[in-house]
Homo-oligomer: A and B are copies of this chain.
Amino acid sequence: MKSVDLIGIGMTKFGKRPDKTGRDLLAEAMQEAIMSVDKGIDPKKDIKALFVGYFTPTLYEHQAHYGPLSTEWLGLTGIPAFRTESACASGSAALATGYFAVASGIYDLVMVAGVEKMTTLDTPGVTDALSVAADNVFELPTGITFPGLFALMAQEYFEKYGGNWEDLQAVTLKNHYNGSLNPKAQFQAKISDIAQKIAIKKNVTFKDEMDFLKSKYNPMVAYPLRLFDCSPISDGASVAFLASEEISSRFTDKPLRIKGIGISTDTIALSGRADLTTSEACVNASSAAYEMAGITPDDVDIAELHDCFTINEVILSESLGFFKKGEGLKAAMEGRTALSGDKPINTDGGLKSKGHPVGATGIAMVHEIWKQLRGEAGKRQVKGNPKIGLTCNVGGSTASSMVFIFERSEK
């Protein structure tokens, strides 16, 4: 099996992008990815295949067949192209299948991409579109949607391990803070900024922040989760280039090596799970990835986790083995997952603040790892010259989980 290197990556700004279709967003992300390749890349000559993740283009754009649609729009007509889907892990599925292709030796360089153009629908429309990630036979007929599914996880977590919704705001505050340092983020405001604006007050205390989060400006969505516990509806795209070890030095002397990959599945309906406070798919996916990379959770310097809802960042941080079961919430409260902590998580603001254009998320996570490991993350750069980064993406209520481990390798 050939080793595979990440040699370049780009993403659009996430948020409402009324002027852009899905294919436009892909073109924008690709342009940035091209510019990120240290020694340059000739798309027409170098890219041998395309893998593009998009969860529900059919519902957002009355469009599927995004493989040839993308190759045509991006000036790559003729090369092999595939669309992958695994709900919110659709972009990671593109990364995984593209990885398989390069690792096999059939293509020496591929483009992996992710995109979602969600703001064509109103909020009930998006809620309906997202619901196809749950089980339409055994779960949706109860009337539940995703905020409700993750609210059940939060309820069980608090019951089992203690803690409460106020504690969980450590994640909200941290991710909004990180997002405020990320020019690509949909929300570039700290909770204190928002609270300040509303209170017309100069100096905002922690109590003021919490008062804001408990106010009418942060309405209940599904108990105990409020609006600011939920990731937003977003448009966006992300694009990366993967090259085999034999040729990657033609493109950069500072690639990221993909050291480990792990994929796993769980029951699609929550009702099939023994324990809602652990993501078994994430446990199994990360175990496989750690084993392949020959590392332990302690070796991971920074990580991007799927915080579609605040509670999920906590659950995944435990399922990945960063913290013991029941101790993830405490770790977040103690600032261990902050930019300055010993295990920085979602340094780009996470889905919560950066935005969550579903199909784009998997590769956007990798974008942050690329920036941080190469020391190019600007104001949000973590200290200590991080060397190993991990992304953990999930689909639905973590019925699919995909974990990748990257290592900086300077040649």
A375, CB-defined interface residue at 8 Å: no
- Residues of B close to A2: CB separation below 8 A: 104
Residue A180, interface by CB 8 Å: no
The answer on a CB contact under 8 Å between A58 and B1 is: no
The interface residues of chain B lying within 8 Å CB-to-CB of A185 are: none
Q: Is the CB of A65 within 8 A of B133?
A: yes
User: A63 — which chain B residues lie within 8 A by C-beta?
Assistant: 132, 135-136
Q: Does A100 contact B (CB under 8 A)?
A: yes
Q: Does A79 contact B (CB under 8 A)?
A: yes
Q: Give Cα A50–Cα B219 distance, bound, in whole angstroms.
A: 41
Q: 1/0 per position for A375-396, CB-CB distance to B under 8 A?
A: 0000000000000000000011
Q: Does chain B have a CB within 8 A of A56?
A: yes
Residues A132 and B65 in contact in the complex (CB < 8 Å), given A80-B263, A81-B86 = yes
Interface code A42-54, partner B: CB below 8 Å = 1, 0 otherwise? 0000000100000
Give the CA-CA distance A263 to B51 in the complex, in Å: 12
Closest chain B CB from A73 CB (angstroms): 9
A83 and B82 in contact, given A72-B265, A104-B1, A266-B77 (Cβ under 8 angstroms): no
* A169 interface hit (Cβ, 8 Å): no
Q: Which of B21, B68, B69, B399 contacts A68 (CB 8 A)?
A: B399
Q: Mark A85-118, 1 if CB is under 8 A from B, else 0.
A: 1110000010011001101111000000000000
Check B267–A77 contact: CB distance below 8 A.
Answer: yes
Say which residue of B71, B83, B263 sits within 8 Å of A49 (CB atoms): B263
Q: Which residues of B contact A87 (CB under 8 A)?
A: 64-65
A137 part of interface (Cβ distance < 8 Å): yes
Residue A347 is within 8 A (CB to CB) of chain B in the complex: no
In the complex, A395→B68 CA distance in Å?
Answer: 9
**Docked-complex contact B49 and A55, CB < 8 angstroms:** no
Bound together, the chains give a CA A395 to CA B272 distance in angstroms of 36
**B residues less than 8 Å from A71 (CB atoms):** 265
A-B contact pairs, 12 of them (CB 8 A): A23-B137, A65-B132, A65-B134, A68-B268, A68-B396, A72-B399, A78-B265, A79-B265, A80-B265, A81-B400, A82-B85, A104-B104
Contacts A63-B136, A78-B265, A83-B93 aside, 14 further interface pairs with beta carbons under 8 A come to A1-B105, A1-B106, A55-B64, A56-B64, A67-B86, A67-B93, A77-B266, A77-B267, A79-B264, A79-B265, A81-B263, A81-B400, A83-B84, A85-B85
Closest 10 CB pairs of A and B: A80-B263, A104-B104, A103-B104, A68-B399, A68-B265, A100-B100, A65-B87, A64-B132, A1-B105, A83-B85
